[in-house]
Each structure stands twice: as structure tokens, then as C-alpha cells.
Amino acid sequence: MTALRAWLTDPSPSSRRQARLGQLWLAWLRIRRNSLAMAGLAIVSILVLVAAFAPLIAPHDPLVQDLSRRLLPPGTPGNWLGTDDFGRDILSRIIHGARITLYIIGLVALTAPVLGLLIGTVAGYFGGWVDAVLMRLTDIFLAFPRLILALALVAVLGPGIENAVLAIALTAWPPYARVARAETLTVRNSDYIAAVRLQGAGSARIIAGHIVPMCLSSVIIRVTLDMAGVILIAAGLGFLGLGVQPPLPEWGLMISSGRKFLFEQWWVATMPGLAIFIVSLGFNLLGDGLRDVLDPRSAPK
């Protein structure tokens, strides 16, 4: 362990990998001191664990109905967060809902940044009219209010989890394109890019192999901060009945089904909302901390 630490903090690393891992280790040391960011990391880790082991953790099947046990209040033995109007255990549904949430944000995190990176780096690398056209397109999408565009897209595509993901991803890429373009402009004329070009590399190779890696750290921060927003939009679509369809235990959908008896059985709508809030807060805390650590502009004095 100490040998590993010494290797990581070696002031004169002998390989590129050692230098990179050393940088990561130092960043980790800085994040570890930020208690709010660590709280965020803990929340996100718990979300991943709960989603991975949902069937083992959940006390009940999330879909099985038991009308003799409907609308039980929280604290009932066996149903610690109460049951909904079909007698389904709310805790189990929230636990299984973590899978859906993770699925949605995972897909969006894999698609939107890739699209944004592609458009941003291409625009930044080629410049000229390519840049002008692509950036205007980006601005147009940025000018559209996100939720409303997602609504209109889902209205066209039809409700469902994949379409919701598609709609969210199509509204989420412009900020990544902006970030990637800005990073590309700073490295486009560097000597190392010129060297690669002299070796005969084509544009595609330069962009994919030598420019995209330079944009990754800013994009990763942005993704983390963005995930909170994605969770909220996905829940909003679910709440409106345009995202995930019943009987799947999506959190936004669960809130909307609890709305009917809000005043008598408050827990049905409240509990899944708490889950959304905690997970989204976790991503915000983590993203905030990551930015403090990785972004040199906001480094502590």
C-alpha cells in the first residue's frame, strides 16, 4: 500500500501511465477533503449498488398486487414506507425504480456527450463555415427550452422509456458541443497536433485520437452536473405520463399515481419524490466538488 502510494506520488514518473495515475491520485486526495462532494459520491455509489442488487435488497416484488394490503401507512411491519393503491410495497418499488433511473441517466450519459463532443470538436477543428453552421445549430437547440422540446419530441415519438431517453439526449447535447469546441480551439494549433499531422494522420484520426481526450475532463464534470437535471426531466416526463409506462416503478410515475390521494395518503406521492431529490442532490454535490477540484479556474487559494 505504501509502495503504491510512493509510486503514485513519485515526483519523476517513469511512464506516462504513472504520471496520469499520479494526477488522478492527487485529485482524489483533494476531493476527499471536500465533505459535501464525498457525501455526493456516497449517494451515487449507493444508487449504483441498490440498482445492481435490487432483487436481493427489495423485501417484496415491485409489481405484485395485494389489494388486502392497499394504502398502508409508513411504519407498517413488512412495508416500512407503506403501500400504494394496489397494495404494492413502496420501498421495493423505489429500490427497483433505481434501476430505471440508472438506465435512463446511463443511456443519456452515453449518447448526449458523444454527440456533443463530435459536433463541438468537428466545429472547432475545421473552423470556417463548418464551425459557423454547427454552432448556429447548437445555439438554436440551446434557445429551445429543454423540457418543452423534450415534451414535443415525446409527443411525436410516442411515450416510452427509449423515446424519453432519445428526447432528453436530443435536448442535452448543445452544452457539450460548446465545451468541446472551446477546448478544441485551445489545442488546435498546438505543436503536437502539427506533429501528428506531419506524420500523415487524417482529420478523423486527429480529432478522435488527439483532440477528444483533451476535452474529456471538462465534459466529465459537465456530465455529472447534468445528470441531476436529466433525472428531474425524466421524472417530469414520467409524471406527465409521457415517459416510462405503468406498471413499471419509475419514480416520477409513482408520484403521479400518488397524486390522487395526496391529502389522505400522503406517503404514496412523497416517498418516491424523496428518492428523486436525494439522488439528484447526490449528483449535484459530486459535480460541484469535481468542478472545484478539476477546474483550475475555481481552484482554492
Specify the stretch interacting with another protein by CB under 8 A; choose among 2-10, 19-27, 90-98, 154-162: 154-162
Verify binding: residue 112, another protein, rule CB under 8 A: no
Nearer Cβ to another protein, position 150 or 211? 150
Beta bridge partners of 76: 79
Q: Which stretch binds another protein (CB under 8 A): 24-32, 58-66, 105-113, 263-271?
A: 263-271
Grouping H, G, I as helix, E, B as strand and the rest as coil, residue 61 is coil
**Closest approach of Cβ 272 to another protein, in Å?**
8
Among 113, 116, 243, 252, binds another protein (CB under 8 A): 252
Is 145 an interacting residue with respect to another protein (CB under 8 A)?
Answer: yes
- Look at residues 272, 232, 228 and name the one whose alpha carbon lies nearest to residue 92: 272
The four Cα atoms 88, 92, 94, 98 give a dihedral, to 10 degrees, of -140
Decide if residue 236 touches another protein (CB under 8 A): yes
Q: Does 33 bind another protein (CB under 8 A)?
A: no
At 76, is the secondary structure helix, strand, or coil? strand
Q: Total residues contacting another protein (rule CB under 8 A)?
A: 43
CB 63 within 8 A of CB 247: yes
Q: Cα angle at 236 between 276 and 256, to 5 degrees?
A: 80
CA distance 103 to 243: 13
83 DSSP β-pair partners: 89
Does the footprint of another protein cover residue 204 (CB under 8 A)? Answer: no
Judged by CB under 8 A, does residue 105 bind another protein? no
The neighbour count for residue 69, using CB atoms within 10 Å, is 17
Contact 189, 132 (CB under 8 A): no
Under the binding rule (CB under 8 A), the answer on residue 242 touching another protein is: yes
Which of 60, 141 has the CB closer to another protein? Answer: 141
Binding residues (CB under 8 A) for another protein: these are 136-137, 139-141, 143-149, 151-153, 155-156, 158, 228, 232, 235-236, 239-242, 252, 255, 259, 262-263, 266, 269-270, 273, 276-277, 280-281, 283-285, 288
